[in-house]
Chains A and B, each alone.
Chain A
């Protein structure tokens, strides 16, 4: 499934590099959050028999969610890089074509 296309036009390459960098910083922060999330290692029994099952389900679900969010964020960084690379290549090709015409 491709809901987020890999290409695009009308790009300011310098700004786009900054965008990829910002998303990359967000990813770094997210890895900090993931570390904070997992810094304790309690057992389910520590939460009491009434709460143990709910806590286990919660903790597992959100560990997975943060992990997926991290993967999705890196995927976005990669897509933005790809757009920049594709556009830069297209721009170079255009310049060569123009040079040829001028020559």
Chain B
């Protein structure tokens, strides 16, 4: 129970006290309320730390500007050639990291100042409420109201005043606790999100050269593919750990692949492939396939990373399925008319984690062969993969048959098997099913969901409207909202509050009736 819910319970009791008979209960409830801890923390210390972050952030932005000038102007003027371009990219990466530091520290500094203000307001409101409650208690007599239902008050109006003061006092404490809880949660969520923007630090801690760590951490998908970092912090850290665990010979082989990469982006996709659990021979085969396109950032993005923000492949967001009437079809990544939402959401989440898997979907491991990466070829492979995963899940569920004979969707066993075989393998973390039965469960799960997706671990989520159910997958978080991919082929954002209060219907209202209520998630174990 939180301080807020404890105080709300006290408030309910105090508000219902209307007769002098209730005086003992009123006194006891006042004692209970006074026993609830006040909002803790030091607004002065928080504010000072916020100021420090703001100052550091401002200086980082100056650093970023200076380095950006070097990368764009001064270095190209002093040094020309292919190696010089690589050096400019490295300085740009330093500038980008300094820019991120400036923005993050600015956001954290402002958030701490708001938290300091709100905490100070909450502490004052709480203190004032406690004073009023103590005054109310004193009016109930020296025995604190224990006997006042049996004896008369010296002045009958004292009880009336005591009740009014108690109501005022508890209301002030409840308001203060609500402000502290809501503002504290928002601050904590934002800091958790911003902590994961520190991308190079984790890789360097695992033995990577600092400059290489900054360069790799800064690599992003091409803007045409919706942008976004190629490597999450967790992927960069995991890849660094896996490199450390290699034999010296394997480490040398992998470093050779990185060193011979045509671009930092190609190197970043190799690191991502390693983080997704692929073996060194598999990564070498993968690199042999993508290396001819190592300088073509648009090609790398299109073939190695699904664009879940816009749901397009090769610029196509709506695919006319063969055999359907003109104008009829589905969104490019959609599960279509098959009840394989669990498989479709899990497969797409895996494609988002593993560029080796995505390359197989987009090219059949035959890049350069005419038609191998056409939209229809991609669609065909994607849907065959959805179906094969669906059938695996059906067998795990013990269904009497598999698709196309049986098409009733998957149960929790099949869902968990797919989460572990696909996402567990790619993230190195086992998944377990967590049942959600109302807003309390959702609230308790929220921080774990945020932590997981901030670490690059997608979280499958089951939703229902009471009759129908569906699986989607949470793929992102920005501290106050969650990004959820719907296997109908698109992504959307919901606020943390909408997640907590089961207001997720907007994500599925394209096929009414919408399914607003979360009833389960697959959570990674760490």
- A93 lies within 8 A of chain B by Cβ: no
Q: Is the interface of B mostly helix, strand, loop or mixed?
A: helix
- A101 lies within 8 A of chain B by Cβ: no
- A19 lies within 8 A of chain B by Cβ: yes
- Chain A, 1-45, contact with B by CB distance < 8 Å: what is the 0/1 string? 111110111111001101100110110011011101111101001
- Chain B, 83-113, contact with A by CB distance < 8 Å: what is the 0/1 string? 1101100110010011001001100100000
Contact B181 A23 (CB under 8 A): no
Contact B201 A65 (CB under 8 A): yes
Chain B contact-residue range equals 35 or more
- B198 lies within 8 A of chain A by Cβ: yes
Contact B212 A8 (CB under 8 A): no
Q: Which of A18, A51, A66 has the most CB of B within 10 A?
A: A51
Contact B188 A25 (CB under 8 A): no
What is the number of residues of chain A that contact chain B, defined by CB distance less than 8 Å? 58
- One of B41, B74, B204 near A51 (C-beta < 8 A): B41
Q: Is the interface of A mostly helix, strand, loop or mixed?
A: helix
Residues of chain A in range 40-93 having any CB-CB distance to chain B below 8 Å: 40, 42, 45-51, 53-55, 57-58, 61-62, 64-69, 71-73, 75-76, 79-80, 83
Q: How many A-B residue pairs have CB under 8 A?
A: 225
- B384 lies within 8 A of chain A by Cβ: no
Contact B209 A75 (CB under 8 A): yes
Q: A50-B185, A58-B108 are in contact. Are A72 and B48 (CB under 8 A)?
A: no
CB distance from A66 to the nearest CB of B (A): 6
Q: In whole angstroms, what is the CA distance A14 to B366 when docked?
A: 49
Q: Give the interface segment out of B59-67, B131-139, B148-156, B430-438.
A: B59-67
Contact B210 A46 (CB under 8 A): no
Q: In whole angstroms, what is the CA distance A51 to B98 when docked?
A: 25
Q: Which residues of A line the B interface, CB within 8 A? A: 1-5, 7-12, 15-16, 18-19, 22-23, 25-26, 29-30, 32-34, 36-40, 42, 45-51, 53-55, 57-58, 61-62, 64-69, 71-73, 75-76, 79-80, 83
CB<8 Å pairs between A and B, sample of 7? A2-B212, A15-B77, A18-B74, A19-B74, A42-B48, A48-B180, A71-B211
